[in-house]
A and B are shown apart, each in its own frame.
Chain A
Amino acid sequence: AQKITQTQPGMFVQEKEAVTLDCTYDTSDPSYGLFWYKQPSSGEMIFLIYQGSYDQQNATEGRYSLNFQKARKSANLVISASQLGDSAMYFCAMSDYYSSASKIIFGSGTRLSIRP
């Protein structure tokens, strides 16, 4: 069975600093996708970044990058130059590709708070 583990329930970071949110995963499938979502206090789920298991390079989207270490089964999110608006819950997630309906499972989340 697939599993996502986020070991940091909460983090405080000073504005403009870089921050790394940890995520490890477990799967026996060779094909999978890894995601990060942001959930601000308004409750909406915002897709941030995606990494496929066969992608050779780490995914980047603006200030977000995914540090993908396949052998260690980790998919950490790095936010460069943090901003006050980055304060939110962050969820790591993974998908399985080859099933009747590709679905996503989520980790328990990390609450990130940015200090001014």
Chain B
Amino acid sequence: DVKVTQSSRYLVKRTGEKVFLECVQDMDHENMFWYRQDPGLGLRLIYFSYDVKMKEKGDIPEGYSVSREKKERFSLILESASTNQTSMYLCASSFRDRVVGYTFGSGTRLTVV
């Protein structure tokens, strides 16, 4: 069964902490994406990557960075967590030119206190 796995389902972190959200896919997908989901705002794209070591900013990259050292793994980094980054974070992956077949992880609900 193909999978996108997010390392944590729930996380609670303190303001100012450095936070790592990990995403691993086993489908040999070139593209990987990080979204955050907030009520009334839907899913907003933070960053995406179309190849190892490549990254592009999405619509709301401020306060976030990413790392893609291996094809199967895409990390989202909150350098100094703030309360307004409390949200549901969803990882997704796809083949480069095939948006049908976008596969999502189950999400990480991050609370920053």
Contact = CB atoms under 8 A, between A and B. Distances in A.
Interface of A: 4, 6, 9, 33, 35, 43-45, 47, 50, 91, 95, 97, 100-109
Interface of B: 30-31, 33, 35, 40-45, 48-50, 56, 58-59, 88, 90, 92, 94, 96-100, 102, 104, 106-107
Given A100-B56, A103-B31, A106-B35, 11 more contacts: A33-B99, A43-B107, A45-B92, A97-B99, A100-B50, A101-B96, A102-B96, A103-B45, A103-B48, A108-B41, A108-B42
Contacts of B102: 47, 104
**Most B-side CB within 10 Å, residue of A100, A102, A105, A107:** A102
A106 B98 contact: no
A101 B90 contact: no
A70 B96 CA distance: 26
Please report whether the interface of chain A is mostly helix, strand, loop or mixed according to DSSP.
Answer: loop
Given A108-B40, A108-B42, A44 B48 contact: no
A9 B40 contact: yes
A25 to B, nearest CB: 13
Nearest to B100: A50
What 6 A-B pairs have minimum CB-CB distances, sorted nearest first? A101-B50, A45-B104, A106-B43, A108-B42, A95-B99, A106-B42
A33 B97 CA distance: 12
